[in-house]
Amino acid sequence: MEKNSGFATKQIHVGKLEIPGIAPLATPIFQTSTFEFETTAQGASRFALEEPGYIYTRLGNPNTTKIGQKLAALENGEAGMAMASGMGAVTTVLWTALHAGDHLLADDALYGCTFSFFTHGLTRYGVEVTLVDFSDIEQVKANIRPNTKVFYFESPTNPNLKLVDIAAISKLAHETCPEAKVIVDNTFATPYLQKPLDLGADVVIHSATKYLNGHGDVIAGMAVGSAEFITECTLFGLKDMTGAVLGPFEAYLIDRGLKTLDIRVKKHCENAMKVAEFLESHPAVARVIYPGLASHPQHELAKKQMHGGFGGIVTFELNTTRERSAEFVNSLKLCTIAVSLGDAETLIEHPATMTHSTYTPEALEEAGIGESMLRLSVGLEDAEDIIADLKEQLDKIK
Ligand SMILES: Cc1ncc(COP(=O)(O)O)c(C=O)c1O
């Protein structure tokens, strides 16, 4: 494969394993916990990192290596790695990047368990944590400290689809804190729509459970960054701190999902745009948040830093009480009530009581996550059917 191959070619071919004499098209699953050494000397030199080669699956396995290389190619990064969950990726990367006494400056709208890890977890170990609105660069500037070592955000944010100007924050961070890392959770956009490393960020994190896998049958996480940092995350963060190792079978499924990432994300985006436009036109809907709509306050930024679409998530609020909103969700037939996102099925959830129930009511308000917001992960069904399901129940709201 050529180095300058296109996205689709890379998502299919990068990391292909050559197995002489067999040549399987799909990578076999290396379902093994450990790898044999020919001699004790060979084992010792592998542990000393003098000789390349596999040792033990917690330290590496051909299936996880392959998807690490593939995602690195798709994100335009030097190296990538896989972990047992998105939270495994968040914790592995941050345990590697931070020490007691360091300051973490993060956006206030975060996936609920990331919020919990930052505010209840890292603070127990002497890391200072400040959450501010990263869409306002002045707030970020005003909260930088001499010990700020990580700038962390999602874009679009979960669940309120706020955007963060990745290039502007990366420039500010690197000019004021040369040692600091800018870490972006790119789960909602995927590398097909947005490449944070090209915009100046240092590390990208994914819940690979979502679009990278795309079929709702795996929990996984991934990270991409410089070869030096990813090696540190592998040999310290993952090996010693979290042990959040992805199994070979799950890595195989992620590899399979990645082969169709671009066409799936394109269809998610097309469907989401149609659903967002429909919702915006319905009198029972009070507010629709979708970066592709001209009504999104950061639509211009979305057009600048996202390419090929605006993602598959639509967030909205109804013109009715919370109880009636819940009734609306309960009555939907095609849209399924479930957390997670990026799957073939359209999923709907209530962030304030589900994915973001780790937030206090005050923190929700501060982060702009409305108590009545509904998050819709628009699936790959026919858009007309998703809209018909929503319309049937919306029309009943007086
Ligand atoms: C933006 C984002 N980051 C991280 C995570 C955590 O991923 P996982 O559930 O795979 O641990 C999630 C999960 O919903 C998420 O939405």
355 C-alpha vs ligand 1 centroid, how far in Å? 9
Residue 380 included in any domain: yes
Q: Which of 258, 284, 313 is the last residue of a domain?
A: 258
44 C-alpha vs ligand 1 centroid, how far in Å? 37
Which one, of 87, 108, 86, 104, lies nearest residue 164 by Cα? 108
Ligand 1 site residues (CB inside 6 A) read 85-87, 111, 114, 154, 158, 185, 187, 207, 209, 219, 221
Bridge pairing between strands 347-349 and 336-337: parallel
Q: Do residues 154 and 287 both lie within one domain?
A: no
3 is catalytic: no
Q: Do residues 304 and 380 both lie within one domain?
A: yes
Cross-strand partners of 204 = 184, 224
Q: Do residues 121 and 20 both lie within one domain?
A: yes
Q: Do residues 371 and 270 both lie within one domain?
A: yes
- The residue contributing the CA closest to ligand 1 atom 6 is 86
Q: Do residues 192 and 272 both lie within one domain?
A: no
Residue 1 included in any domain: no
For residue 182, what pLDDT is reported? Answer: 99
Residue 333 included in any domain: yes
Q: Do residues 88 and 160 both lie within one domain?
A: yes
Q: Do residues 237 and 275 both lie within one domain?
A: no
Q: Do residues 111 and 245 both lie within one domain?
A: yes
DSSP structure class, residue 306: -
Residue 276 included in any domain: yes
Cross-strand partners of 288 = 316
Which one, of 277, 269, 271, lies nearest residue 382 by Cα? 271
Residue 162 included in any domain: yes
Identify the CATH number of the domain in which residue 327 sits. Answer: 3.90.1150.10
Low-confidence ranges of the chain (pLDDT < 70): none
List b or e across 294-318, with b for residues whose CB sees 16 or more CB atoms inside 10 angstroms: eebebbebbeebbeebbbbbbbbbb
210 is catalytic: yes
Q: Do residues 318 and 339 both lie within one domain?
A: yes
Identify the CATH number of the domain in which residue 95 sits. Answer: 3.40.640.10
39 C-alpha vs ligand 1 centroid, how far in Å? 42
CA dihedral sign, ordered 173, 312, 114, 197 = negative
- Burial of residue 182 (number of CB atoms within 10 Å: 0-12, 13-18, 19+): buried
For residue 20, what pLDDT is reported? Answer: 87
Q: Around 141, how many Cα atoms within 13 Å sit in the side-chain half-sphere?
A: 7
207 C-alpha vs ligand 1 centroid, how far in Å? 5
For residue 160, what pLDDT is reported? Answer: 98
DSSP 47-101: HTTSS-S--BTTT--HHHHHHHHHHHHHHT-SEEEEESSHHHHHHHHHHHH--TT
For residue 3, what pLDDT is reported? Answer: 75
Domain that residue 109 falls in: 9-258
111 is catalytic: yes
Q: Do residues 75 and 16 both lie within one domain?
A: yes
Residue 3 included in any domain: no
For residue 130, what pLDDT is reported? Answer: 98
Q: Do residues 281 and 252 both lie within one domain?
A: no
Q: Do residues 271 and 301 both lie within one domain?
A: yes
Q: Around 341, how many Cα atoms within 13 Å sit in the side-chain half-sphere?
A: 28
Query: Structurally, how many domains does the chain consist of?
Result: 2
Residue 209 included in any domain: yes
For residue 18, what pLDDT is reported? Answer: 87
Tell me the C-alpha to C-alpha distance, in Å, between residue 396 and each of 73, 374, 390. Answer: 48, 17, 10
Residue 4 included in any domain: no
Q: What is the rounded distance in angstroms from the CA atom of residue 123 to the CA atom of residue 51?
A: 39
Q: Which of 238, 258, 278 is the last residue of a domain?
A: 258
Q: What is the rounded distance in angstroms from the CA atom of residue 95 to the CA atom of residue 240?
A: 10
Q: Which of 258, 278, 294 is the last residue of a domain?
A: 258
230-271 confidence digits (pLDDT tens) = 999 999 999 999 999 999 999 999 999 999 999 999 999 999
- The residue contributing the CA closest to ligand 1 atom 15 is 111
